[in-house]
Amino acid sequence: MKKIVLFLLAFLTIITITGCTSSGTPDIALKQAFAKNLTLDGYNYQSEMKLNKLDIKKENVTEKDDKIIAIMKGFSLGFNGAVDSINAKQEIVFDIRYNQNNVDASIKFPVLVDYKKQHIYVGKSILNTVLLPSNMFEKTIMLDFSKNSSLSKKLNKSEDGKVLASYMQKYLSEGHFKKQQESYKKAYADAFNDINVSNFKYTDLSKKQIRLTLDNKDSANVISTILGAIVNDELNASEDKDTPATLSGNQLKSLIMVFLYTIDLQTTIDSNINNSGYIDSNNINFNISDINKKKFNADIQMSTKYDNFNHPNFSINTSNVTENIDIDELVKLFEAKKDKKPVSKKKKKK
């Protein structure tokens, strides 16, 4: 009787863990979570990409190459930031890191784009140290590309400047931001739509963690579809009949597909679904080798965590205009430095 009770308790525990947190097959559960993430009005993310392994056939490698490869393994690249779909703002903090042999270094470069105002903000970084005097170390560098800004007026004085101003005003616009977001959403839906259900597996009893494995063909399709969405046909169509159209999304996708078929790429994506049904982390592993697996083999890992769903936080404060330094001020600083030429001291004749 005691064994039966223990068995029933264990059975009920398993049912509670597996049945209440997720339902359906892993492919449906993951696609539903992806779809829910795409409805978010904003979020924060912390992402890191690093090289775990790079093996090259010894006859192709010198001692110097070995040392370079060893140093490369200490580097990683972080992409942290925020997306605010309601206010059309995006922030990304590039973080170049090195961690090896008791050396732990990090250089961050924060950039925020406000598509509504058509402003680009560069947060406090190495640029402040190099470009600005010490009394301006805490300033945020701002570039205003709006139509009537002093920067746009200056750019419009030359033909090359006009092209740059026109380009920035087109792509730094709320309309472009929204089209881009919709393009990304469609690309993610298309990329994972035709993958065989056998590629999806639950990796824990709670059914919160799902692994997706992609062979070379599936990897090429997913990567080329998502990257191709960055350049879409409508936004890149030429407005001038005499000017050839730029590379379209479909053309880019085809080029990426051709390149990826020249290598062997195996991809593993581990996703975690939180209690609210959102994906709160992804761990992507790319295993890359030559098509015959005889020359090289590399392992690249990219891990990403998501939080602050619908309530993103930004590290660059754009509301306090007294902390911003306009590009005009930077130009004046450079001109002032040029005017202050060092006075050469003539040696006295004995």
State which amino acid sits at residue 111: V
Distance CA(47)–CA(301), nearest Å, equals 10
- The full DSSP string for 293-318 is SSSEEEEEEEEEEEESTT----SS--
Sign of the Cα pseudo-torsion (332, 336, 337, 338, in order): positive
Sign of the Cα pseudo-torsion (229, 232, 235, 236, in order): positive
Question: How much of the chain is helix, strand and coil, in % rounded to 5?
Answer: 40, 30, 30
Distance CA(109)–CA(49), nearest Å, equals 16
Of 63-67, 81-85, 130-134, 253-257, the range with the highest mean pLDDT is: 81-85
- 255: how many CB neighbours lie within 10 A of its CB? 14
Distance CA(9)–CA(201), nearest Å, equals 27
Counted residue by residue, the chain has a size of: 350
Asked whether the predicted pLDDT for residue 5 surpasses 50, the reply is no
Quick one: what percent of the chain has pLDDT higher than 70? 78
Asked whether the predicted pLDDT for residue 42 surpasses 70, the reply is yes
How large is the average pLDDT for residues 303-320? 90
State which amino acid sits at residue 170: K
Coil vs helix vs strand at 339: helix
* Residues 57 and 65 sit within 8 Å (Cβ to Cβ): no
> What's the confidence (pLDDT) of residue 46?
96
Question: How would residue 282 be classed by pLDDT, with cut points 50, 70 and 90?
Answer: very high
Encoding tokens for residue 242? 């005499």
Distance CA(316)–CA(299), nearest Å, equals 34
Sign of the Cα pseudo-torsion (113, 115, 120, 121, in order): negative
Which sequence spans correspond to the domains of the chain? 1-40+50-73+173-303
End-to-end Cα, the chain, rounded Å? 114
Distance CA(195)–CA(213), nearest Å, equals 10
Encoding tokens for residue 299? 């392992």
How large is the average pLDDT for residues 51-65? 80
DSSP letter, residue 112: E
> What's the confidence (pLDDT) of residue 234?
47
Question: How would residue 180 be classed by pLDDT, with cut points 50, 70 and 90?
Answer: confident
Asked whether the predicted pLDDT for residue 226 surpasses 60, the reply is yes
> What's the confidence (pLDDT) of residue 215?
93
- 239: how many CB neighbours lie within 10 A of its CB? 8
Encoding tokens for residue 286? 């790319």
Asked whether the predicted pLDDT for residue 280 surpasses 80, the reply is yes
DSSP letter, residue 208: -
Question: How would residue 237 be classed by pLDDT, with cut points 50, 70 and 90?
Answer: very low
* Residues 316 and 143 sit within 8 Å (Cβ to Cβ): no
Coil vs helix vs strand at 113: strand
Asked whether the predicted pLDDT for residue 235 surpasses 50, the reply is no
Quick one: what percent of the chain has pLDDT higher than 90? 36
Coil vs helix vs strand at 330: helix
> What's the confidence (pLDDT) of residue 78?
94
Q: Which residue has the tokens 């992609």?
A: 214
How large is the average pLDDT for residues 179-204? 87
